[in-house]
Chain A
Amino acid sequence: MAPEYSDQLPDSAKHYAELSRRARQARLSRRNFLLALGMQAGLIGVASNLVGCSQATPATPAPATAKAAGGKDVAYDTSANIVYWGEAGERWEWPERGVMPMFNKIWPNIKTEVYAGPIGDMLPKIQIALASKTDKYDVISQDYYFVPMNIKGGQIEKIQPYLDRDPAWRDDLYKDVPEVVLDTYRDKPAKQGGELYGLPPDSNSQLFYYRKDVFEKAGIKAPPKTWDDTIGVAKQLTGGKQYGYIATLRRGQWAAGVFTCLYWSHGGIFFGSEDWANMKGDQWKVNIHDDAAAQALKVAQELIKYAAPGVLNAVDDEANGLMADGTGVMGPNLWGGSVLTQEKTSKFWNVMGTTVSPAGSGPKGKPAPTMGGLGLIMPVGSKNKEAAWAFMKFMVSPDVVKTPSGEEIQFGKAWVENFGQPSRNSLLQKYASVQSYFPALGDSLKVAHRYWPIAENGALMEAVGTHFASFLVGDIKDTQFMDNVERDCNDILKKAGYFS
C-alpha cells in the first residue's frame, strides 16, 4: 500500500499539511455566515457613524426661532458651517470668492466651504445629487433650465417664504432684476402667482458680438438688425482667413440654443401655447411644421456657408477662441461673457462690439436671444437652511451693503471686478465701464426668451440640438428635421404623461 502523502513530509511541513487539510474540509454553517455578515455590517456601521460624527456640522435654528436681524432676517450671530457647490472660474466662483470676506464680516460665525468644479461636468452631477435628495450641500449654483426639473421633483426648497420676511429687500429685488430672469426660478410666472425657488446672482443671454474695426473697414455702419441682413454682412465679411459667422453649434444643447434663438425670433412657439401654467393635453404637443421653423432653418443654412472651421463642433470655449484670435469677426448669437471684452483673453477686446441679437423677418419677427444664467438653490436636504438663506441673499446683494456696525461694503464693485455678471440691472448699468458688454446684456434680457419651463427641458434640447446639427451638416433636410424633432420630443412628453 502506498504511504499517505503526509507520511513523506518532514514534521514541520506535516503541521501545515494538516492545517491545509482542515481548511479544505471546511464548510460554513449558516449561523457562522450570518454572524460574520452581522459583525462586518456592525463594524461598517460603527465606522461610518464615527466618520459621520466627525463631519457633523451644527444645525442652524429653524426659521420660526431665528432671531431676525433688524427685525427682518437671519440673525448676525447665526452660527453654522455651510457647504456651497458652484461652478469654477470666472463669472461664478471668482466673484463669489471675491465677496466672501464681506459675507464673513456680516455673518462671522457662518463658515462656508466652497466646492467648485468645471461647469460642463458639474451640471449633471448636481442633478444626480439633487435627485438623491442630498444633505451634503446647503447651497448649489444651478443652471436655470434645470430648475423646473428640481421644482417638479421636490428637490429644492421654496425660498419665497424666506424672501417675504424682508419685504423691502424683496421689492427692491423685483424692481432691479428683470421679471423674465426671476421667472426662470419660479414654479410659474409671477403674473400667474408663481413663487421663487432660487435667486439669481448671475444672468445671461445670447449677445451679438462683432468686431467694430472690421465693420468700419467694410463700411458697415451698425450691426444688422435682422437675420436676413446678418446673412449679407456675414457674406461680405468672409474672405481669406476671415470668417463672418461664429456660433456654438456642437450637437445637443449648444446647437439647440442657436436654433431656438432663430426659431423664436421668427415668431415660433414650439408647443401649442406658451401659457405654461394653464396648458393641457394636446397643447403640450410639439409642432414645428411652421413658417418660423422653415425661416429659421433657411437662415441657419445660409449663415453656415460663412462659418469658420470649427464652428460645427464648437461650444463656447471654441467659439470664443475663434473670435478672440481674429478668425471670426461676427457672432450674432454667442453666449454672453467677458472673455471677448477683456485684455487677458482676447486680442481684440478693445474693438469688440456687443449688441442685441437680430430679429427674424416677417410680421412676427422680433429679437429673441435664448436666455442663460445660473442661480442659487437650496436643496431640500440642507441641514442649515437659515445660514444657507443668508448666503443666497447676500450673493444677490445690491451695489452697497451695510454691515451690522453700519459700515458700507461695495458689493457690486467687488462682484463685477471679479468677473461676475450680475442679474441686477442697476449693476449692469453702473459697471458698464468695467465690462463693456453689460449694456447689451441688459438690453438683451429685456427681449430674451427662456427655455421651456418643464422638467423634460434637457431631453427636448438634446433632441432638437442633435437634429439641428444633422441638418446643418446636410445629413437631413428641413422637413426631416421637423419630423424628427416632433417625433422625438413628443415621445419624451408622451412618456412623461403630458398627453396620451
Chain B
Amino acid sequence: MAGQTETKPRASDVTADGGRPAASGRIGENHFFRWAFLLPTVLILLVIAIFPMVNSIWNSMHWYTLSQPDQKRFIFLENYGQLLFRDSIFWDSMKTTILYSLGAVGLQFIIGLAIALLMDRRMKGIGLLRTLFMIPILVSPVVSGLTWRFMYEPSGLINWLMGLIHLPPVGWISTPGPALPAVIITDVWQWTPFFVLVLLAGIQSIPREVVEAAALDGLSSGQYLWKILLPLIRPVALVVLLIRMMDTIRIFDAIYILTGGGPAKATLIGSIYTYVLFFKAFDAGVASALSWIIVILVNILGFFLLRFLAQESTQEQKGLAPESSPSA
C-alpha cells in the first residue's frame, strides 16, 4: 500500500499463547486513541459500580442518617454489631431469607426436573409447548407481583376458585402462615421455566449410547434417574442452583410488590429489611452494613457451590467419579 512502511513483526512480539506480547514497560506514544476509547467504560464502571461499593463499605462504618448527613461520624463496626447482636428483626429476616431461598429453589428444581423429563421427548407441538413454557421468565417481576397480588387478595381469583368448592377464603398474603409459601409460589411460577430450560439442555446432552445401555441393562426409571441422569446433569444443575440461590437471596421487587415484607415479619427478607432501614428509617449506615452482610452471605454460598462444582469436575477429569457415574 502506498506510503506504508512494511514492518515485519519480531519473533519476540509473538508469545506462546498466540501473539499477545509480554508487558515490557515501554512507553509508546502513538496509541492515545486506544486508551481514549477504553476510558469511558472504565470511568462509567468506576462511577456506577466501584465507587458506590467502596462508598457503601465506608458508610457501613459510620453513623450516617439522611436527616443529618453532615453529621456523619466514624463508628467502625458498631453497625455490624448492632445488626448481629442486638437486632432481633435482622435475625428474623435472615431466617426468612434462607427459608425463602431454600423453598423457592428446592421446589423449582424438583418441578423443573419433572417438567424437563416430560419435555424430553419427540412429539407433535413440543417446540411450541417449550416456547410457551418460557413466558413467565419474560414477565417483569413487578408485573408478576401485581398479578399474583390481585389473585391472592381476599376477594381475588384464588379465593373465588376455593369458594366454588366450598372452601373458606384465606388471607394468602395477609396472614403470616400462608404469606411466605404464597410468595414462594410466585417465584416458583416465574422461575421454574428457567430450570426446565437449563435441565432440559443437560438431559439432552446425555449421550444416546448411555441411555440405550441403561435400557439394555434393564434399569428401572428410578434407577435411571438416580444412577444415570442426576449424576450426569449435576454440573448443569449446580450452576442453575447457584444462579437461582443468589437471585432468591437478593430478590426484592416481586416481594415488595406482593406483601411489602408483611404481614408482620412473615416475608421480611434481607433485601426488604435493607430497604426499610434506608428508605423508611433513613439509616444509611446500618442499611449499608446489612447489604454487605447479604453480599458476604451470597459469596459464602457461591464459594461452596462453586467449590463443590470444581471438585466434581476435577474428579471427573481424574477418572475418580463415583462408581455409579457412567462417566467413570
Whether B31 and A6, one on each chain, are in contact in the complex, defined by CB atoms closer than 8 angstroms, is: no
Whether A473 and B154, one on each chain, are in contact in the complex, defined by CB atoms closer than 8 angstroms, is: no
Chain B contacts for A158, CB-based, 8 A: none
Whether A313 and B4, one on each chain, are in contact in the complex, defined by CB atoms closer than 8 angstroms, is: no
Considering the complex, give the chain A residue whose CB is closest to the CB of B259. A313
Q: How many residues of B contact A (CB 8 A)?
A: 69
Chain A contacts for B24, CB-based, 8 A: 27
Whether B8 and A469, one on each chain, are in contact in the complex, defined by CB atoms closer than 8 angstroms, is: no
Interface-centre pick from A11, A253, A470 (highest chain B CB count, 10 A): A470
Whether A27 and B8, one on each chain, are in contact in the complex, defined by CB atoms closer than 8 angstroms, is: no
Q: How far is the CA of A128 from the CA of B28 in the complex (A)?
A: 46
Whether A128 and B30, one on each chain, are in contact in the complex, defined by CB atoms closer than 8 angstroms, is: no
Interface residues of chain A: helix, strand, loop or mixed (majority): helix
Interface residues of chain B: helix, strand, loop or mixed (majority): loop
Instruction: From the candidates B21, B39, B66, B261, name the one contacting A36 in the complex (CB within 8 A).
Output: B39
Whether B175 and A312, one on each chain, are in contact in the complex, defined by CB atoms closer than 8 angstroms, is: yes
Chain B contacts for A458, CB-based, 8 A: 280-282
Whether A309 and B265, one on each chain, are in contact in the complex, defined by CB atoms closer than 8 angstroms, is: no
Determine if A22 is an interface residue (Cβ-Cβ < 8 Å): yes
Given the known inter-chain contacts A23-B34, A24-B21, please indicate yes or no for A312 contacting B28, CB distance below 8 A.
no
Whether A22 and B30, one on each chain, are in contact in the complex, defined by CB atoms closer than 8 angstroms, is: yes
Chain A contacts for B276, CB-based, 8 A: 252, 462
Q: How far is the CA of A132 from the CA of B86 in the complex (A)?
A: 31
**Number of CB contacts from chain A to chain B under 8 A:** 190
Determine if B316 is an interface residue (Cβ-Cβ < 8 Å): no
Given the known inter-chain contacts A23-B31, A26-B30, A149-B282, please indicate yes or no for A250 contacting B262, CB distance below 8 A.
yes
Q: How far is the CA of A378 from the CA of B313 in the complex (A)?
A: 63
Per-residue 0/1 for B117-157: is the Cβ within 8 Å of any A Cβ (1 yes, 0 no)?
Answer: 00000000000000000000000000000000000011100
Whether B28 and A473, one on each chain, are in contact in the complex, defined by CB atoms closer than 8 angstroms, is: no
Whether A18 and B281, one on each chain, are in contact in the complex, defined by CB atoms closer than 8 angstroms, is: no
Q: Which A83-107 residues have a C-beta within 8 angstroms of B?
A: none
Q: How far is the CA of A11 from the CA of B75 in the complex (A)?
A: 67
Stretch at the interface among A70-78, A226-234, A484-492: A484-492
Whether B176 and A312, one on each chain, are in contact in the complex, defined by CB atoms closer than 8 angstroms, is: yes
Q: Which B151-176 residues have a C-beta within 8 angstroms of A?
A: 153-155, 169-171, 173-176
Q: How far is the CB of A191 from chain B (nearest CB, A)?
A: 25
Given the known inter-chain contacts A4-B8, A36-B35, please indicate yes or no for A313 contacting B263, CB distance below 8 A.
yes
Determine if B187 is an interface residue (Cβ-Cβ < 8 Å): no
Instruction: From the candidates A33, A152, A153, name the one contacting B35 in the complex (CB within 8 A).
Output: A33
Q: How far is the CB of A118 from chain B (nearest CB, A)?
A: 13
Chain B contacts for A14, CB-based, 8 A: 6
Given the known inter-chain contacts A309-B171, A309-B175, please indicate yes or no for A459 contacting B282, CB distance below 8 A.
yes
Beyond A149-B66, A250-B260: 8 further Cβ-contacts under 8 Å? A22-B30, A37-B39, A124-B279, A131-B66, A154-B70, A309-B174, A459-B283, A462-B281
List 5 A–B pairs whose Cβ atoms lie within 8 Å, in order of A's numbering. A27-B24, A251-B261, A310-B154, A458-B281, A462-B276
